[in-house]
Amino acid sequence: MADVSQENLAKAIFVHQPYIASLEAGNISIGLDKMEQIAAYFGVKYYHLADPEYSIPPRQVLRENIEKYIRSTQTESGYLKNESPNFTKSIDQILQGSFLIQPRSAKEIATECNRLYASGISSSRVSDILARSPRKDLVEVLKTAKGRIKRYQLKQV
């Protein structure tokens, strides 16, 4: 509603973007301290975040609240002017090429995106983007023998 990316919210409340993705997906529980930070970021009370009856403030109010929070915490605010990069565009361009004919790690994909498009994407953001539709339907996720590192490869058609 307020056009804030997971990455920018994460940056503002001093966590990593995958934490925000896991919260949104309902995969992890949130502590009261982080709930209060997120609520402060959007200018609402922490208990409103769990209230399905609470009406979300209008977009302009949310943006004003975010700007107040950013100023009070002295967090970088360039993204409030829609200057945040479009990482999915870089990933889509990689998916259309031949780079992923061979299995690649998220770090290798991020390095290639940064080399070709100067996108500034992180390997965790690559993993997040490739885990969502429609991109997850285009790649096969392979695990190494030890199962620690995922590798991505275009699905064979």
Per-residue pLDDT tens digits for 100-144: 999 999 999 999 998 998 878 888 889 888 988 888 899 999 987
Which pLDDT does position 7 carry in this prediction? 84
- Structural domain count of the chain: 2
104-105: strand order across its sheet: 104-105, 150-154, 139-143
**Domain check: are 108 and 68 in the same one?**
no
**Domain check: are 20 and 44 in the same one?**
yes
Instruction: Find all residues with CB under 8 Å of 11, minimum gap 6, and list them.
Output: 75, 76
Residue span of the structural domain in which 133 resides: 87-154
> Residue 129: exposed, middle, or buried by beta-carbon count in 10 A (0-12, 13-18, 19+)?
buried
123: tokens are 């390997």
- Of the candidates 39, 144, 141, 127, which has an alpha carbon nearest to the alpha carbon of residue 91? 127
CATH code of the domain covering residue 42: 1.10.260
The backbone region for 45, taken as left when phi is positive above 0, alpha when psi lies in -120 to 50, beta otherwise, is beta
